[in-house]
Amino acid sequence: MLLKDTLRYELPVEGNSLLGYIVRRMHKTEWLMPVRQLVAKGETERALAHIAAYAVAASTSFGRAHYQPRFDELGTQISATDPATGAAVTARLLSTKPHYRIGYDVTMPDGSVFDGTESITGTTIGLRGLGMPAPSQFAFHSGEYEAKLKGLLTSELVLSLLGNTRIRAYGKLDLEDNAGNSGGIEVERNGQARLVINKKDVVLEGTATAPSA
């Protein structure tokens, strides 16, 4: 699975705030569209794979960092519909101290719900760039089916004196559902993500994309 450059959509030329950026970052809900049908057919392993793919895609960005989004005030909430699917996406700033903590939820057209939180714990300085670790946890509910995901995803800003500063991410989420499936998904700095469920590699077709700018 490949995570594509969607930052021109996430950081539009007219500017964006942190929550606005996160909402647009989450506009990749096409990954969740097949889940309810997969569960109905008993293909819960595949359903969990799609949920995991969405969780990673919705939490990361890859590409040129056109600018730094402006900060939102505590308690701010921003909602926007994913134009590709009609899913309702909301992000809210839950706290700013000691860390920025953001909550969000997605309501799919079929009534399925994906929600979660991430905490931006600060900035680390390394040879590869400026890292922003974000402990994250997510849940997905569709009828009686439930899935949970938890882990650490780090966004990394790669600075450039030529004005081509880029953002990327790396990290891992552990995942499980109430159908007995478990595993993990790991994303690398090159945008490649490896998904393992029930100790087997799972390959998903396509790429994680966002709507056109």
Q: Which residues pair with 104 in a beta bridge?
A: 91, 116
What pLDDT does 28 receive?
96
Residue pair 62/7 in contact (Cβ under 8 Å)? The answer is: yes
Q: Count Cβ atoms within 10 A of the Cβ of residue 210 and give its class: 0-12 exposed, 13-18 middle, 19 or more buried.
A: buried
Q: Which residues pair with 153 in a beta bridge?
A: 134, 171
Stated pTM of the model: 0.93
What pLDDT does 4 receive?
82
Q: Which amino acid is at 143?
A: G
Q: How far is CA 97 from CA 23, 92, 102, 119, 184, in A?
A: 21, 15, 12, 10, 30
What pLDDT does 126 receive?
76
Cα distance between residue 11 and residue 25, in whole Å: 9
Cα distance between residue 45 and residue 59, in whole Å: 21
Q: Count Cβ atoms within 10 A of the Cβ of residue 185 and give its class: 0-12 exposed, 13-18 middle, 19 or more buried.
A: buried
Q: How far apart are the first and last CA of the chain?
A: 22
pLDDT tens series, the chain, 213 aa: 888 889 999 999 999 999 999 999 999 999 999 999 999 999 999 999 999 999 999 999 999 999 999 999 999 999 999 999 999 999 999 999 999 999 999 999 999 999 999 999 888 887 778 899 999 999 999 999 999 999 999 999 998 777 789 999 999 999 999 999 999 999 999 999 999 999 999 988 655 555 554
What pLDDT does 208 receive?
53
What pLDDT does 203 receive?
87
What pLDDT does 92 receive?
97
Q: Residue ranges of the domains in the chain?
A: 2-200
3-state secondary structure 116-132: EEEEECCCEEECCEEEE
Cα distance between residue 122 and residue 133, in whole Å: 7
